[in-house]
Amino acid sequence: MTPAQRKLWLHFKLYSLALIRFFPIQLFFLHLRRSWLFLGFWILLFGMTGGFFFQRLGIPYLFITPEYLEEVNPLSYFIVGLVLGLFTMAFHITSYIFYSHKFPFLATLSRPLYRFSFNNSIIPLSFFAFYVYQIVKELSLESWEWMWILSNVGGLLAGVITSVSITFSWFFSTLKPKVLEKIGDRLDKTLRLVIVEEKSERKLDFEVHHRVVTYLKNFMAVRWARDTSHYPKSDLLHTLQAHNSNASIFMIIVAAIMVGMGYFADSKVLMIPAAASIVIMMTFYLLIVGALYSRFKSWTAFVLVVATLGLNYISGLPQFEKRHAAFGLDYDTEPARYTIAALEELSSQEQYDADFEATLNVLENWKRRTGEDKPKLVIVNSSGGGLRSSLWSLAVLQELDSTIGAEFWKHCFMVTGSSGGMVGTAYFREIQGDVSKRESFQRMGRDLLNPVGFSLVSNDLFWSMKRFEDAGSQYSYDRGWALEQKLHENTDRVFPDRWRDYAEAEFNADIPWMVLSPTVINEGRRLLISNIGVSYLTRNRNDFRMNHAWEIDGVEFYPFFKNQRGDSLRTMSALRLSATFPYITPLTSMPSEPEMEVIDAGARDNNGFELSFRMVYEFREWIAENTSGIVFVQLLANEPPSEEIAGSPYRTRLDDLVKPIGGVVNSFANLQGYSASELLHLSDEWLEFPVDIVPFQLMSVTDEEIALSWHLTEREKAQIYENSESQRIDIRVGEVKSLLHR
């Protein structure tokens, strides 16, 4: 080897060593090896902002297009940036608690936490670069001007910088007010219980594989690391732990923010974007991990598992159990008996006859309203699917109304369905003919998810700071109440207070009869919320000997909760019960014994066809004699079933574990479709009148499916609106118009 080659080789070794021993690289690989708890938080953030996680729920768009006071602007991005700055600092602080003892050279630097944070920024900077890319891509697709896009990105980065700067100022300020100094001195011993100081000098790591050659002094300067072998170990340890008390205060401040959010849950100004609420929750949990590690070290993961199981057990105890109510009902009186005997009593032959006769009267009223001898009886089936279903149902009904006129709604006798579809249809029923299609679409399309996310963090994860009164009872704020209030506000408060307020108009057939049917998760029965008695829809009577528990497949709400103030059920609560999407809105507990819990109506019958078809069967003789047939108008906001058979080119061992359950979940819509097809096939033996089904199917114009969420982007809302005015929908509207005159 020539001298020149030897020199080149030495330079290569030197720079390679410097790179390998570069502090940011050392920290990055240390996180990869040992920080799976930390990385889990970052992976979650990457997944949510990139659309890898919760895409169908629309969670990514809460980050990409955050709303504050119903606006997406630099201020909304600034707030998200502030909270992301707090999360970044929590990551730095917790990482410092975990790993600072492995790098004693930090104690030789001024402001060791500050220097550590600079060098610990590979993951945060990668995330912010990725996040900004996702924002720019989405806003470009929505045709935003570049100056406005840059303003929003600037707002985000300004929020991050502001939050990080304020936090560093707190940690390193030597000019703190004397009051804070006195409080700090008095609480110092208490704060040490939050983040415990390490007493053993043996924890300092002087091993070769953790030695650092170079580090970042700031983002523009690289420095050589000092040797620490000649420093007293006690001094090094003391210096490294100088910020523990401030770290404890930081954690307490974050906790106080979460609790304070609950107290101001009804303040619009303080209702931050849902993405910010999610990040605050993650920040708090990340700090808890750091505090636990300071005490339990390598036992931290085990302690977290045990603590989670313990808290879960405690949360189920009567004094700590958190229940979500249907507002208006009385939870203080004796609960309703939820037994087969009680259900049999409510669905007796006597009750069946009374309800059957009452519904015949409603049918006669409906027929008189049409003014025809044998009118077509229209039934609307509105499928679930969050805000996309609400907008689709509303837009199609507005299209039918504007083209056919009041004649269409006059012929509509019954409305069934689930989730957002019933919300949109209920809104149309209120405003029919009074509000333009564009204006009503804009109202219905306003965000509903921000207050839900805010309430989840501020109230539902811990305890509710505020209560309110309704119908003589006290209830806690929760995300169910937040959704109801926001929906009521978005629709300009056109709905009456109580669902029972519709009883007279529905009985007189002044408006179509609407039946809500949330699913009881205890055993899968329907909870039928109807102002007209429907005991004939709660029981499958037959002459075969079968288990009575299977024969009774529904619970009629008003008779069942008669003594629990069922008549006071709020309209918004009734709609929410039918639209209880898992996790986003809470499972609602009903005042019964054993306790009944209900979930989205779509869990059993997503578009309500099965329920409405049972009504047709029960009144088939009257329909055959008094109408010219049935027209089912189906408002379907889900993608139509593909004609291609699903499959994968290979199957892994993980697939073997996931597919038995995942396959059923993925086939959920098809299973309901098969059931509806089977009902129609079997109906050939008793149908003595024409039945027509006119589907109005929402079709995606891009490869991306519109989110199943209570928050949609402007691009998604525009896609729904344009679909409703397409030639394909005009053809379907023409079919309905011709059927009404056939």
Alpha helices in 432-478 (DSSP H): 437-444, 449-455
Phi and psi torsions of 317, nearest 5°: -70, 145
Instruction: Tell me the average pLDDT across 405-410.
Output: 90
Interstrand relation of 412-417 and 630-636 (parallel, antiparallel or unpaired): unpaired
> Are 641 and 386 within 8 A, CB to CB?
no
pLDDT higher for 405 or 76? 76
Q: Is the peptide bond before 594 cis (omega within 30 degrees of 0)?
A: yes
Specify the pLDDT at position 508. Answer: 95
Q: In this model, does residue 275 exceed pLDDT 70? A: yes
Q: Please say if the pLDDT value at position 542 is more than 50.
A: yes
Question: In this model, does residue 632 exceed pLDDT 70?
Answer: yes
- DSSP letter string over 390-426? HHHHHHHHHHHHHHH-HHHHHHEEEEEE-HHHHHHHH
d(CA 557, CA 515): 11
**How remote is the C-alpha of 690 from its chain's centroid?**
42
Q: Which residues pair with residue 170 across a beta bridge?
A: none
Q: Phi and psi dihedrals of 589, rounded to 5?
A: -90, 135
* 340-373 tens-digit pLDDT: 989 999 988 999 999 999 999 999 999 999 999 9
Sign of CA dihedral 712, 715, 716, 718: positive
Q: How far apart are CA 59 and CA 384, in angstroms?
A: 18
Per-residue pLDDT for 8 more than 50? yes
**Residue 549, number of CB atoms within 10 A of its CB:** 11
Q: From CA 518, how far away is CA 603, in angstroms rounded?
A: 8
Give the pLDDT band of residue 209 (cuts 50, 70, 90): very low
pLDDT per residue as tens digits for the range 484-517? 999 999 999 999 999 999 999 999 999 999 999 9
3-state DSSP call for residue 430? helix
Q: 12: Cβ–Cβ under 8 A, 6 or more apart, which residues?
A: none
How far apart, in whole angstroms, are the C-alpha atoms of residue 494 and residue 513? 18
pLDDT > 90? residue 398: yes
DSSP output for 26-86: HHHHHHHHH-HHHHHHHHHHHHHHHTSSSTTTTHHHHHHS--BTTB-SHHHHHHHHHHHHH
Paired with 514 in beta bridges are 415
Q: What is the pLDDT at residue 662?
A: 54
Q: Which backbone phi and psi does 416 adopt, to 5 degrees?
A: -135, 165
> Which residues make Cβ contacts (< 8 Å) with residue 250, sequence separation at least 6?
89, 90, 93, 167, 170, 171, 287
Residue 656 has pLDDT above 70, yes or no: no
Structure tokens at 299: 């036992």
Does the structure show a pLDDT above 90 at 602?
Answer: no
pLDDT of residue 674: 74
CA gap 228, 109 in Å, rounded: 11
**pLDDT (tens digit per residue) in 54-88:** 877 778 888 998 988 888 899 999 999 999 999 99
CA distance 29 to 118: 16
pLDDT averaged over the chain?
Answer: 82
Taking only the tens place, the pLDDT of each residue in 382-397 is 998 889 999 999 999 9
- Angstrom distance (rounded) from CA 432 to CA 446: 19
Q: What pLDDT is stored for residue 45 in this prediction? A: 94
pLDDT of residue 643: 65
Task: Give, in order, the Cα–Cα distances in Å from 552 to each of 347, 349, 526, 537, 592.
Answer: 8, 13, 10, 9, 17
- The winner for highest mean pLDDT among 191-195, 431-435, 546-550, 702-706 is 431-435
